[in-house]
């Protein structure tokens, strides 16, 4: 069986990355991409890298395409909660990549996103889409909230240690991301002379992935951590490195901490424990790397991934595969670039 899928928001970095992955997926047909500004234009006139892989044209609205099995919503926050109710009414499964369905508390959403949540009914039923921890709930789900990119890298690094009981439930997360994480719209901060040879801290104390990290780790480890999250913009295009600093409860050595990660991720296809995690090892792929180091009474855990793949589009396809009963790695079975 071939499933028909569509993308709302087909021109942004996440939408284009979804298109790149899905046009070669063995079990789905990419049937629709929406774009208000490019409706009627051929997809390849905008995404020239898809030349020879699709003959689709952008449409203004997703409801112009019939018989869809699943839709990805790859829009800025605040849009998905207006789109999802109608899609679900049509029986279409949805994956939201925007953040509208990640935080389970509507009041928390309002606090961090500055908007009232208009779809609390579907917010309550949405499954948080981090497959390594929640694949049982994702299988067969109708609505999945795809995690944020920083949140994914931090949760993969933090959750095993917090669950193990080796560390206190407070963590400092030092995150560094490439410029593609900020989206396609240019800003003064993203102007090349500003960021091209610099490291810039931003949204300190107010980044929206902070409550997401706290919520998700609580869901998995049963411990709501106190998170201090400091994101930085670094002069690369793709990739995230999150360095997560903990206080150890008791003496532990490198091997003790490493064993915790190997136990959690030893059988995972896309998350690997390595001695020196590297962005270059995972860029262009759905793979993530984690690592750790003990320094006196402290432990440092690292989470590395491509923010556009495992941090967004690739993880969304991983979730889609689970939702549709497909092989979890379908369409994603390729390594990082390495260089």
Q: Which residues contact 246 (CB under 8 A, 6 or more apart)?
A: 161, 167, 168, 170, 171, 298, 299, 300, 301
**Three-state SS at 304:** strand
d(CA 96, CA 101): 7
d(CA 66, CA 88): 14
Helix orientation angle between 106-113 and 209-221, rounded to the nearest 10 degrees: 150
| Two tokens, residue 275 | 């001695």
Measured in Å, how far apart are the chain's first and last C-alpha atoms?
37
Whether the Cβ atoms of residue 270 and residue 286 lie closer than 8 Å to each other: yes
Q: List, in sequence order, every residue forming a beta bridge with 259; answer none if it has no partner.
A: none
Alpha-carbon separation of residue 117 from 62, 109, 122, 209, 261 (angstroms): 22, 7, 10, 17, 36
Catalytic positions, written as ranges: 149
**CA quadruple 177, 7, 322, 90: dihedral sign:** positive
| Two tokens, residue 304 | 């590395």
| Two tokens, residue 315 | 């993880």
DSSP assignment string, 35-101: -TTTTTSBHHHH-GGGTTT---B-BS-GGGS-S-SEEEE-S-TTSHHHHHHHHHHTT-EEEE-SSTT
Whether the Cβ atoms of residue 143 and residue 120 lie closer than 8 Å to each other: no
Whether the Cβ atoms of residue 145 and residue 319 lie closer than 8 Å to each other: no
């Amino acid at each position: 069986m071939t499933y028909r899928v569509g993308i709302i928001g087909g021109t942004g970095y996440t939408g284009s990355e979804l298109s790149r992955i899905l046009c070669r997926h063995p079990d789905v047909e990419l049937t629709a991409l929406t774009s208000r500004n490019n409706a009627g234009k051929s997809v390849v006139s905008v995404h020239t890298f898809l030349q020879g892989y699709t003959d689709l044209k952008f449409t203004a609205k997703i409801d112009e395409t019939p018989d869809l099995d699943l839709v990805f919503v790859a829009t800025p926050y605040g849009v998905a909660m207006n789109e999802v109710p109608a899609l679900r009414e049509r029986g279409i499964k949805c994956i939201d990549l925007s953040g509208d369905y990640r935080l389970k508390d509507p009041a928390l959403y309002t606090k961090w996103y500055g908007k009232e949540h208009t779809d609390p009914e579907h917010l309550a039923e949405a499954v948080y889409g981090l497959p390594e921890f929640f694949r049982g709930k994702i299988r067969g789900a109708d609505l999945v909230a795809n995690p944020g990119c920083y949140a994914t890298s931090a949760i993969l690094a933090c959750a095993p240690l917090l669950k193990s009981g080796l560390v206190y439930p407070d963590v400092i997360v030092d995150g560094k991301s490439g410029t593609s994480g900020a989206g396609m719209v240019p800003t003064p901060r993203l102007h090349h002379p500003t960021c091209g040879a610099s490291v810039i801290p931003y949204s300190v104390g107010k980044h929206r992935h902070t409550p997401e990290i706290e919520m998700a780790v609580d869901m998995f480890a049963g411990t709501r951590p106190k998170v201090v999250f400091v994101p930085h913009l670094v002069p690369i295009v793709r990739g995230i490195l999150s360095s997560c600093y903990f206080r150890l409860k008791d003496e532990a050595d490198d091997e003790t901490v490493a064993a915790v990660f190997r136990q959690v991720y030893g059988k995972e296809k896309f998350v690997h424990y390595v001695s020196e995690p590297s962005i270059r090892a995972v860029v262009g792929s759905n793979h993530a790397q984690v690592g750790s180091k003990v320094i006196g009474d402290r432990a440092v855990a690292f989470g590395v991934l491509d923010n556009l793949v495992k941090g967004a589009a690739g993880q969304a396809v991983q979730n889609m595969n689970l939702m549709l009963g497909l092989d979890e790695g379908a369409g994603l079975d390729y390594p990082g670039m390495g260089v």
